[in-house]
Structure 1
Amino acid sequence: MKLVGQQLGWSEAKVSRVENAKQGIQEADVSAMLAVLRVTGSDRERLLKMAREIDQPAWWELGRSLPEQLTALIDAEQRAVRITDVTLNLLPGLLQTRAYTRAVMEASGLPADESDAMVSIRQVRQGILSNSDPTELRCLIDEAALVRPVGGPRVMAEQLRWIVSSAAQPNISVQVLPLALGAHAGLAGTFVLLEFVKARDVIYLEARSSGAFIDEPEDVALFTDAVSRVETLAFSPSASTEILEQYIRKYESEAA
């Protein structure tokens, strides 16, 4: 650090204050340091983003006490470069509309005020898919989730239209696992695979009122193998869009 400080023209006192966290560091300083250290590409952008946001509290810490598992999941989603959601009975949370999420929350017995709050939180979480450096999202959806009319035909038609629209984005892919498959590797249960730049992959398992992370490599490998197996059995993204559109027409006719 002292050598870097000399190349930047910083005094020894400033170097000492920065090293001991007694002085904040501005984005311009971080940019200069990264240039000296020859850090480029995505690592440079990630560190500059951290410098810009270092004084900003995480949005999910503002004004509400959240379950520890949910806070951990949100943090993991914010840091992930790719998220793979293998889902059976419900559509992926990061692609749910407000109406669909509200129907799910109400069915679980949440009071109206808590339901509204959780709907809003889920909507804000989806921002990782449309920011300046969007997270890649892969969704492997069992057709059973399309059959289940959560919220009724009108809600389902709107929900599936949103998924089709989202799947047109370059960072989002959606593949449907046909009911005709019968048993497949994803039937063991819904899970989310989160991948990071430098940290090891983790699996998130969600239960009714809690969740759990798995990060031991040998355990995670079982799930990544399941993803590979399911992916080869699923319809292609284009064929999946056709299936989604068939269900949209079905629900639209029922809602008419």
Structure 2
Amino acid sequence: MPQRRVVTGRSHEPRARFAEELRLLRAGKGVSLRELAEELGWDASTLGKMESGRSLGSPEIVEALDQYYGTPGMLLALWELAVGDPTQFVEKYRAYMELEANAVSLWHYASANLPGLLQTPGYAREFLTAGGLDGDELAVQVEARMGRRELLTEEDAPRFRTIISEAVLRTPTRDPAEWQEQLEHLRHMSERKNVTVQVVPLSVGLHALTNTDAWFLRAADGRTVAWVETGFTAELIEKNGEVERLQLRYDLVRDLALSPDESREFIRRVWEEAQCEPST
């Protein structure tokens, strides 16, 4: 069997590395995909997609494979690297993901949905499903989004400010319990020292970012870039003049927002209203 490379975050293309290791282990065991599927109780087509790199599978499948091959934790470590690998995302998002991971501070405005860094699994699953994902790929993307949340809770976490339109808080998930969990998580995160949450009431009317989600990411060298999203497109903005103009618009919206304390109280009231909603 060929010598395996060391498991590391610097391994070339973690997703391809994970698929390769799966193929090597099965070849070394001398079993077919069908035999492996029968042994583990998982579908052979799912295992085949994982070995070809078309799917990453779920952590449950990977843990079962670790146990079967006698590689405790190794495959799961590779899987986690692959889930966090920016090469699995559409090319235009790669630069943004790398900038987000290394930013020393982040500012954000949400016009329609909560930022991924503050989403619960239930909210993320419904949001991504609405975008057309399902099956293994949906599970992978939810896991990846949950992995991104650690950015705000790890040691030396960056400063993060999000300004949220009231419309976001008035658009619940279909499951009332999941929506209540999401609102509670948002309140909890707003109490962290490195996280600031502000709400823009609908009563302020139209403003400079009414239909635009915007991110500002500041790197360790002081350079700031912006990421702008609308319903069907996204753009990374790096030119200083354009970033500054967008920051001015952000500051104008910030002037209209409730204070952090007022916003926390606003979220609490929405949470209480959700508690009173009858289950369907």
- After TM superposition, the score normalised by the length of structure 1 is 0.73
Change (3 A) 1:110 1:208: farther
1:128 paired with 2:151, answer yes
Which secondary structure does the structure 2 equivalent of 1:202 belong to?
strand
Which secondary structure does the structure 2 equivalent of 1:71 belong to?
helix
RMSD over aligned Cα, in angstroms? Answer: 2.0
Counterpart mapping for 1:133-172 below 5 A: 133-172=156-195
Corresponding residue number in structure 2 for 1:111: 134
Corresponding residue number in structure 1 for 2:111: 88
Which secondary structure does the structure 2 equivalent of 1:151 belong to?
coil
Q: Partners in 1 of 2:209 and 2:181 — Cα distance? A: 26
Q: Extract structure 1 runs of 4+ deviating beyond 6 A.
A: none
Which 5+ residue runs of structure 2 have no aligned equivalent?
1-7, 16-80
Q: Partners in 1 of 2:119 and 2:182 — Cα distance? A: 7
Percent identity between matched residues is: 29
Which 5+ residue runs of structure 1 have no aligned equivalent?
1-54
1:56 paired with 2:9, answer yes
- Superposition deviation, residue 210 in structure 1: 5.7
Which secondary structure does the structure 2 equivalent of 1:63 belong to?
helix
The CA deviation string for residues 142-170 of structure 1, in whole angstroms up to 9 with x for no partner, is 00000111333222211111011001100
- What is the number of residues matched between the two proteins? 202
Q: Partners in 2 of 1:141 and 1:120 — Cα distance? A: 24
2:9 corresponds to which letter in structure 1? Q
- Superposition deviation, residue 185 in structure 1: 1.6
Corresponding residue number in structure 2 for 1:18: none
Corresponding residue number in structure 1 for 2:258: 235
Which secondary structure does the structure 1 equivalent of 2:210 belong to?
helix
Q: Partners in 2 of 1:202 and 1:191 — Cα distance? A: 11
- Superposition deviation, residue 207 in structure 1: 5.1
1:233 corresponds to which letter in structure 2? L
Q: Partners in 1 of 2:231 and 2:249 — Cα distance? A: 22
Which secondary structure does the structure 2 equivalent of 1:193 belong to?
strand
The CA deviation string for residues 165-188 of structure 1, in whole angstroms up to 9 with x for no partner, is 001100000000001001112214
Q: Partners in 2 of 1:117 and 1:214 — Cα distance? A: 28
- Superposition deviation, residue 209 in structure 1: 6.6
1:174 paired with 2:205, answer no
- Superposition deviation, residue 60 in structure 1: 7.2
- After TM superposition, the score normalised by the length of structure 2 is 0.67
**In the alignment, is the contact (CA less than 8 A) between 1:185 and 1:230 conserved in 2?**
yes
1:87 corresponds to which letter in structure 2? A
Q: Partners in 1 of 2:162 and 2:254 — Cα distance? A: 10
**In the alignment, is the contact (CA less than 8 A) between 2:108 and 2:214 conserved in 1?**
yes
